[in-house]
C-alpha cells in the first residue's frame, strides 16, 4: 500500500462527543416520556442527526409528523451545541494530537470525514482545524455512512486516490463506508464492535506514527 493520506472520523475518534449527544438525546426522550439508555445510544454512533432521531423514536415507540421531527432535531442540536461550545480544548482524545502532528511532519495529507454538521465548531473548540488539509462534514455530503461519499470527497479534495488513503473510524457504519470507498480502515474501539475493520486499535493513546507505518507496510 502506498499511503499518502489519513482520513479521520471526528466523533469517537478525535473527541468523545458521544457523551454530549447522549445527554441531549436523553433530555428529549425524557420530555417525550420514555427512557433512553446508554446502550441505545450506541446505535446512534456515526449515524446522521435525523436518522438518530428516528432510532430514538423507534426505541420509545413514538410516531411523529416530519415537521415535528424537524423541530425536535433542532431542539436537540441547540442543546448539544450549547454543551460542545463549553468543552475545554483538552477533551481531544489522548494521543490524537501527536499522531496528527507527526503525520503532517512526515508529509501525509490529512482530512476529516465526519457525518456531523457541527464538525467545524468542534474542531475550532479544540483548536485543531489548521491541521486539516480538507474538512468534509455533514454539511457537504448528501449520503450518510455507510455510503462512501464523505471519504471519497475527502480523497478527492486532497487529490489522493482512494486506495492511497487510510480511514480511522469508531463506528461500524463508518468502517463499511471506508470499505465501500475501497479504503483501508483502522477501527478505533473493540474488535467486537468493529469486526469488519482491517485492524482495530483501542485508541490513539501510546500509538505512534511508526506503529501506523508498520501496519500499512504489512
**Contact positions vs ligand B16 (CB under 6 A):** 9-12, 21, 44-49, 52, 77, 114-118, 138, 171
70 contact partners, CB below 8 Å, separation of at least 6: none
Closest distance of CB 123 from ligand B16, Å:
11
Q: Are 111 and 135 in contact (CB under 8 A)?
A: yes
26 interacts with, out of ligand B16, Mg ion, none, CB within 5 to 8 A per kind: none
Of residues 11 and 176, the one with the C-beta less far from Mg ion? 11
Distances (CA, A) of 213 to 21, 92, 159, 210: 33, 23, 21, 5
- Please tell me the total number of residues recorded for the chain in this structure: 218
CB of 2 to ligand B16, least distance (A): 26
Residue 83 CB, nearest approach to ligand B16 (Å): 11
Q: Strand 199-201's sheet: what is its strand order?
A: 134-136, 109-113, 5-8, 165-169, 184-188, 199-201
Provide the minimum distance between the beta carbon of 134 and ligand B16 in the complex, in angstroms, as a whole number.
Answer: 15
> Known catalytic residue: 11?
yes
Q: Which of residues 125-184 bind Mg ion (CB under 5 A)?
A: 170-171
Annotated active-site residue in 11, 40, 137, 170: 11
Report the residue number, 149 or 170, with the smaller CB distance to Mg ion.
Answer: 170
Task: Considering the complex, state which of residue 21 and residue 26 has its C-beta at the smaller distance from ligand B16.
Answer: 21
Among 3, 6, 12, 132, binds Mg ion (CB under 5 A): 12
Catalytic-residue membership of 211: no
Q: Which of ligand B16, Mg ion, none lies near 129, with the C-beta cut-off 5 to 8 A by kind?
A: none
18-57 binders of Mg ion (CB under 5 A): 46
The distance between the two most distant Cα atoms of the chain, rounded to a whole number of Å, is 53
- For 25-60, give one letter per residue: b (16+ CB within 10 A) or e: bbebbeeeeeebeeebbeebbbbbbeebbebbbebe
- What 3-state class would DSSP assign to 136? strand
Q: Spot the catalytic one: 9, 137, 170, 198.
A: 9
Determine contact, residues 136/113, Cβ cutoff 8 Å. Answer: yes
Contact positions toward Mg ion, by CB under 5 A?
A: 9, 11-12, 46, 170-171
What residues are annotated to the active site? 9, 11
Amino acid at each position: 500500500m502506498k499511503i499518502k493520506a489519513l482520513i479521520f472520523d471526528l466523533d469517537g475518534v478525535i473527541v468523545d462527543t458521544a457523551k454530549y449527544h447522549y445527554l441531549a438525546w436523553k433530555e428529549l426522550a425524557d420530555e417525550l416520556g420514555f427512557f433512553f439508555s446508554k446502550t441505545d445510544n450506541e446505535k446512534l454512533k456515526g449515524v446522521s442527526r435525523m436518522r438518530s432521531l428516528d432510532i430514538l423514536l423507534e426505541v420509545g415507540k413514538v410516531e411523529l409528523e416530519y415537521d415535528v421531527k424537524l423541530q425536535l432535531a433542532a431542539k436537540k442540536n441547540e442543546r448539544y451545541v450549547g454543551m460542545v461550545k463549553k468543552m475545554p480544548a483538552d477533551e481531544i482524545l489522548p494521543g490524537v494530537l501527536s499522531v496528527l502532528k507527526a503525520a503532517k511532519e512526515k508529509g501525509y495529507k490529512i482530512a476529516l470525514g465526519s457525518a456531523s454538521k457541527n464538525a467545524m465548531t468542534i474542531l475550532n473548540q479544540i483548536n485543531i482545524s489548521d491541521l486539516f488539509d480538507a474538512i468534509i462534514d455533514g454539511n457537504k455530503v448528501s449520503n450518510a455512512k455507510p455510503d462512501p461519499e464523505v471519504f471519497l470527497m475527502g480523497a478527492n479534495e486532497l487529490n489522493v486516490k482512494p486506495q492511497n488513503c487510510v480511514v480511522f473510524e469508531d463506528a461500524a457504519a463508518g468502517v463499511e463506508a471506508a470499505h465501500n470507498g475501497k479504503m483501508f480502515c483502522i477501527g478505533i474501539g473493540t474488535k467486537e464492535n468493529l469486526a469488519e475493520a482491517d485492524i482495530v486499535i483501542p485508541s490513539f493513546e501510546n500509538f505512534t506514527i511508526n506503529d501506523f507505518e508498520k501496519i500499512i507496510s504489512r
